[in-house]
Amino acid sequence: MKTWSCIESAAFDLHLQEECGIPAILLMENAGAALARFALACAAESGSDRILVLAGPGNNGGDGLVAARQLARTLPIEVAAPLGLPAAGPDRPAGLALLGAQGVGVPCGGSGACFPLRGRTLILDALFGTGLSRPLEGLAARTVGQINASGRPVLAVDLPSGLDGDRGRVLGTAVRADWTLSFVGLKSGFLIERGPELCGRIQVAGIGVSDEYANAWLVRRRGAGPES
């Protein structure tokens, strides 16, 4: 399987929206649905009877909120957004109202990294994705520290928060995941430096187009050169 850079992943997402006409909201719904399915498999494997979704302020957090809405039909779900809610996406505000109707509140903000951990909980790390470019510090770093110290199994969404998806380096601190669900393809950093240690077992999920289409696009882009 080909590996993707973070820039290539973002460019493909934009290509699907602008050239294929797939709305961003549908791409996020597809990603969230794939995440929900894989989270149920991880919960079953780890013996977890509930799931905590930690949603960050970007699209990664949006994917997590979509998954939370779908997972709430099957397992007890808790959601926290210690760093603030996603600024846009299908789960702000309509999706948040749907979560509320399912009895799932979304506490966010605050000066400390505090989130509920009850019983056999699987943590979904949807804090930061491939767009992270600076070291985590402050509340973000403390939240990652609490995840790693929790002793609970962790599923990372697209990549473990704090991992450089291109170089496999740690940006200040990073989540240590048991599983990583990567969208579209493997990120280059998963296979080098700290990537193998932090990603755990890696699964790849599509976001609405076939693997063949995605790989053909990647070949064309690379053949056209870095300015494409």
pLDDT at residue number 224? 76
As given in the structure block, the two tokens for residue 140 are: 């973000």
Looking at every residue in the chain, the average pLDDT score rounds to 88
Reference 53, options 86, 35, 79; nearest CA is 79
Full DSSP string of 74-113: TS-EEEEBTT---SSSTTTTHHHHHHHHTT----B--SS-
Please compute Rg for the chain using Cα positions: 17
Cis peptide before 93 (omega within 30 of 0): yes
At the top level of CATH, the class of 3-223 is alpha beta
**Residues 202 and 180: beta-carbon distance below 8 Å:** yes
pTM of the model: 0.90
pLDDT at residue number 5? 97
pLDDT in tens, the chain (228 residues): 689 999 999 999 999 999 999 999 899 999 999 999 999 999 999 999 999 999 988 889 889 999 998 998 899 988 888 887 766 554 455 556 566 666 665 555 554 556 778 889 999 999 999 999 899 999 999 999 999 999 999 999 999 999 999 999 999 999 999 999 999 999 999 999 999 999 999 999 999 999 999 999 999 999 976 544
Residues 151-170 pLDDT 10s: 999 999 999 999 999 999 99
pLDDT at residue number 149? 94
pLDDT at residue number 33? 95
pLDDT at residue number 98? 61
**Can you tell me whether residue 36 is helix, strand or coil?**
helix
As given in the structure block, the two tokens for residue 178 are: 């048991």
Distance of alpha carbon 64 from alpha carbon 109, whole angstroms: 17
pLDDT at residue number 193? 97
- Residue extents of the structural domains in the chain: 3-223
As given in the structure block, the two tokens for residue 159 are: 């990549």
Reference 87, options 40, 123, 131; nearest CA is 131
User: What is the largest distance, in Å, between two alpha-carbon atoms of the chain?
Assistant: 52
